[in-house]
């Protein structure tokens, strides 16, 4: 149901941000300008995704990105769209994409170019050709005042607790955005009749528990023993009937977990002992959202948001979801 204000008007994303900023006297309004660029980009991406088969933009470009993955045509379009929509905003100094080897220095971080935007332009893009839900993930940091402006990597490689905002857009049966600025998680649905994201679920709370786990069990034999033990337990009568739900797109799997509870796991394997998900573009923003909704996120050893990143494309294991379910996984994993 579309959320309406007390005056009978609908609450768009921009209106919601403005009204939230009024609650905090120190808010400058600069963040709304950043987020407007993100919403513009995702609306353009959404239109491309909807018509991909008709526009001839399915399939790969024939190139491989820095992650060693085949670049999809829509990956490239989404990446360029976000760079173009955000690149001219004066308060953004640095942009960092999962698709690119190096960060984009828009302008040196200063009191005006204060924001750093990190993003996965099209998460789950390997599922594009089979019409599975995919999405865009973003994380926003502010420049560090204790380091030189030219020390770019020090501005970027900040732990997740330093995020000032994070969110995702999922392109599914409807196009939905969820975001947080550290004051709860709010969800908006794109209304194509007016071309705006409209508040549909304010202040989301993730269920404390959930009888669903999400993992690629094809790799079960390569998981740590503790994770294997958890998966065996989940199938027992004692566990009470857990069900497996795995889409293979982090955005889609997390979106379901956020709304219905449960746990998503991407453990290390023998082939990827350091994990496979990207800390800066995937794990950190999703962990911020999860915690703000009452959930939890861990790499099996520590809280995701406390990890000190050491590289631009650093990878990590991830356990994320309802707090009780994450704790249950850890009770096996850490034995």
Mean pLDDT computed over every residue of the chain: 90
- Lowest average pLDDT, out of 26-30, 32-36, 77-81, 254-258, goes to 26-30
Which fold does the domain 212-333 belong to in CATH? D-Maltodextrin-Binding Protein; domain 2 (3.40.190)
- Lowest average pLDDT, out of 144-158, 216-230, 247-261, 306-320, goes to 144-158
106 vs 323: which has the higher pLDDT: 323
Q: pLDDT tens digits, residue range 191-234?
A: 999 999 999 999 999 999 999 999 999 999 999 999 999 999 99
**DSSP 8-class letter at 4:** B
Domain 13-201 has CATH 3.30.540.10: yes
Q: pLDDT tens digits, residue range 61-82?
A: 667 766 666 777 888 999 999 9
Q: Where are the domains of the chain?
A: 13-201, 212-333
Q: pLDDT tens digits, residue range 83-109?
A: 999 988 888 999 999 999 999 998 776
Q: Please check whether the two domains, 13-201 and 212-333, share a CATH topology.
A: no
Please report the pLDDT score of residue 18 as a whole number: 81
Please report the pLDDT score of residue 1 as a whole number: 47
Nearest-angstrom CA–CA distance, 179 and 159: 18
């Amino acid at each position: 149901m579309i959320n309406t204000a007390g005056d009978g008007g609908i609450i768009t994303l921009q209106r919601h941000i403005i009204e939230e900023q009024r609650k905090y006297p120190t808010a400058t309004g600069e963040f709304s300008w950043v987020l407007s660029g993100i919403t513009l980009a995702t609306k353009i991406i959404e239109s491309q995704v909807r018509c991909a088969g008709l526009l001839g933009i399915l399939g790969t470009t024939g190139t491989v990105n820095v992650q060693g993955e085949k670049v999809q045509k829509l990956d490239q379009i989404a990446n360029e769209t976000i760079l173009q929509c955000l690149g001219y905003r004066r308060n953004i100094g640095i942009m960092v994409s999962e698709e690119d080897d190096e960060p984009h220095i828009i302008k040196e971080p200063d009191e005006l170019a204060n924001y750093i935007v990190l993003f996965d332009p099209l998460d789950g893009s390997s599922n594009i050709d089979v019409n599975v839900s995919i999405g865009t993930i973003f994380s926003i940091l502010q420049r560090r005042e204790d380091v030189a402006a030219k020390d770019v990597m020090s501005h970027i490689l900040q732990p997740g607790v330093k995020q000032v905002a994070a969110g995702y857009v999922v392109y599914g049966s409807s196009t939905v955005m969820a975001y947080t600025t550290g004051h709860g998680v709010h969800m908006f649905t794109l209304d194509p009749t007016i071309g705006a994201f409209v508040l549909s679920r304010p202040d989301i709370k993730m269920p404390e528990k959930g009888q669903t786990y999400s993992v690629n069990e094809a790799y079960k034999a390569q998981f740590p023993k503790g994770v294997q033990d958890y998966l065996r337990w989940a199938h027992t009568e004692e566990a009470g009937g857990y069900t497996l739900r795995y889409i293979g797109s982090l955005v889609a799997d997390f979106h379901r977990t956020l709304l219905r509870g449960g746990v998503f796991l991407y453990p290390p394997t023998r082939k990827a002992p350091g994990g496979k998900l990207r800390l800066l573009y995937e794990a950190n923003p999703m962990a911020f959202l999860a915690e703000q909704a009452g959930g939890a996120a861990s790499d099996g050893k520590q809280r995701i948001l406390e990890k000190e990143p050491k590289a631009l494309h650093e990878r990590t294991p991830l356990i994320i979801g309802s707090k009780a379910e994450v704790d249950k996984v850890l009770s096996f994993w850490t034995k």
